[in-house]
């Protein structure tokens, strides 16, 4: 059971937008602006897509955006492309003893 809750799967057609949610508590997502999102193509190294809720690292497409409301963070991908098909994980700093918690991951399928 992951500390942060994500939908197991989402799907969308090329060109559409999708949003993946990540729900935690006031001890993690809701309490700090330290939410990150990672893209993982199986067999490859995970890639940081968003950090500190809404910041994109250099080189990440502006089709990826992040936001937060209360205890729920969201990753939105606009203009879906075939290469966006991957697993996406959220993570957050937590005031709990584990320091960092992750979501269970969301499999994005581009139809």
Q: Which is nearer to another protein, 13 or 62 (CB)?
A: 62
Binding residues among 21-50 for another protein as defined by CB under 8 A: 34, 36, 38, 43-48
Which of 100, 108, 109, 111 touches another protein (CB under 8 A)? 100
59 is a contact residue toward another protein (CB under 8 A): no
97 is a contact residue toward another protein (CB under 8 A): yes
Return the closest-CA partner of residue 93 out of 76, 73, 75, 77: 73
57 is a contact residue toward another protein (CB under 8 A): yes
User: What is d(CA 51, CA 24) in angstroms, rounded to the nearest whole number?
Assistant: 16
65 is a contact residue toward another protein (CB under 8 A): no
User: What is d(CA 48, CA 88) in angstroms, rounded to the nearest whole number?
Assistant: 10
92 is a contact residue toward another protein (CB under 8 A): yes
Asked if 92 contacts 4 with a C-beta cutoff of 8 angstroms, the reply is: yes
DSSP per-residue letters across 21-62: EEE--TTTTTT-S-EEEEEE-TTS--EEEEBTTTBPPTTS-T
Give the largest Cα separation in the chain, rounded: 41
102 is a contact residue toward another protein (CB under 8 A): yes
56 is a contact residue toward another protein (CB under 8 A): no
Interface with another protein by CB under 8 A: which residues?
2, 34, 36, 38, 43-48, 51-52, 57, 89, 91-93, 97-105
């Amino acid at each position: 059971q992951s500390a942060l809750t994500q939908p197991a799967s989402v799907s969308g057609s090329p060109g559409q937008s999708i949003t993946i949610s990540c729900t935690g508590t006031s001890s993690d997502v809701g309490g700090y602006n330290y939410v990150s999102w990672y893209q993982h193509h199986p067999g490859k190294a995970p890639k940081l897509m968003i950090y500190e809720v809404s910041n994109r690292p250099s080189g990440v497409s502006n089709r990826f955006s992040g936001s937060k409301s209360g205890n729920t963070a969201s990753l939105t991908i606009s203009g879906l492309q075939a290469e966006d098909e991957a697993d996406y994980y959220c993570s957050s700093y937590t005031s709990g003893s584990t320091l960092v918690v992750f979501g269970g991951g969301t499999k994005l399928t581009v139809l």
